[in-house]
Structure 1
Amino acid sequence: MLLFVFAAFCLLAARCDEGQREVALFNKVDTNHDYQLTRAELDQVFLLFDNDTDGEVTPEEFKEDWVHQFDIGGPQEADTLFTRADTNDDGVIDAKDIPAIFAYFDENNNSFVDISEFLTEWGHLSLTAANQVDVSVNVGK
């Protein structure tokens, strides 16, 4: 019985941790702490991955930070999300990709991304195969 209680506690603790890293990432770039991201603040999410500050996030930079710096997930998930965020397929995430990324996250088109939108769309990106989501298609929501 004690083993069952311990297993249930571990499962509950693991489930409570779901999304916490994403919330921490959201909070890190929500500079005015109003629980919604402006376009400039969302830009900062991707600039966090630009280690050499050249204005472009390479797949290597993204994966390194995804896995080691922010500990958000594994390397395969990083590759998948990078592919989705590179909306124009030029091999980097840069200023040209940000408008489509912002539009994707701004579900209600109010020019802000609140925590609910961020977590919902982040979850959709994480759960769907890379070849099934085209962020740029969602610009005209």
Structure 2
Amino acid sequence: MYLVIGFLCLLPYLTNGQVDLQTIANGEFKRIDANNDGHIEKEEISQSFQAFDNNHDNKITRHEYDSGVNNLHPNDPFTVHVLTALFVELDSNNDKHLDDSDYDKFFTNADTDKNNLVTSEEFLSWFQNAEGLPIVG
């Protein structure tokens, strides 16, 4: 249901050809890959999300997540919309916050070759499937 609503909200962007989800995914991959070695490790996932944990309780609420995304992309409402929509996908157990179990689930799903590293291709594939939208670019 959320993906359908998200798709309908994004339809004007898609029809105008202004959407480039691959660019958004690549930007997020580079942001998460803190050591710039071309792949994401579990530790980098946790570190990336912990930057959003304002009260340091090891849980990221929807408000903290949305605020963090807005701070990262203050002049890009489309990117903010796409990334904030991911909260539902990332909250794998639907407990209304992100924590280590959600990061582990994301990593397990994204690491399709099970080598304990997420490549940019694996991340892009996860991102595309999570959004339910085709990659344009």
Q: Give the alignment's TM-score, normalised by structure 1.
A: 0.67
- SS of the aligned residue for 2:101 comes to coil
What are the ranges of 5 or more consecutive residues in structure 2 without an aligned counterpart?
1-15, 74-78
**C-alpha separation in 2, matches of 1:35 and 1:81:** 22
Q: Separation in 2 of the partners of 1:82 and 1:41?
A: 18
TM-score by length of 2: 0.69
Structure 1 stretches of at least 4 aligned residues deviating more than 6 Å after TM superposition: none
Among 16, 21, 25, the residue aligned to 1:22: 25
**Structure number with higher relative contact order (C-alpha < 8 Å, ≥ 6 residues apart):** 2
Instruction: Identify the residue that residue 54 of structure 1 maps to in structure 2.
Output: 57
Residues 5-56 of structure 1: CA deviation (Å, up to 9, x unaligned): xxxxxx77x45x5433332222222122111011111222322322333211
Alignment of 1:123 with 2:124, yes or no, is no
1:70 counterpart (54, 67, 72): 72
**Alignment length (residue pairs):** 113
Counterpart CA distance in 2 for 1:85 and 1:29 is: 15
CA distance in 2, matches of 1:23, 1:41: 15
Does residue 1:113 correspond to 2:126, yes or no? Answer: no
Check whether the contact 1:25–1:45 (CA below 8 A) recurs between aligned residues: no
Larger Rg: 1
Q: Percent identity?
A: 25
Once the two structures are TM-superposed, the CA of residue 59 in structure 1 deviates from its matched residue by: 0.7
Aligned alpha-carbon RMSD (Å): 2.3
* 1:42 partnered with 2:45: yes
Aligned residue identity for 2:34 = T
Distance in 2 (alpha carbons) for counterparts of 1:101 and 1:18? 18
**Structure 1: 5+ residue stretches without partners:** 1-10, 129-141
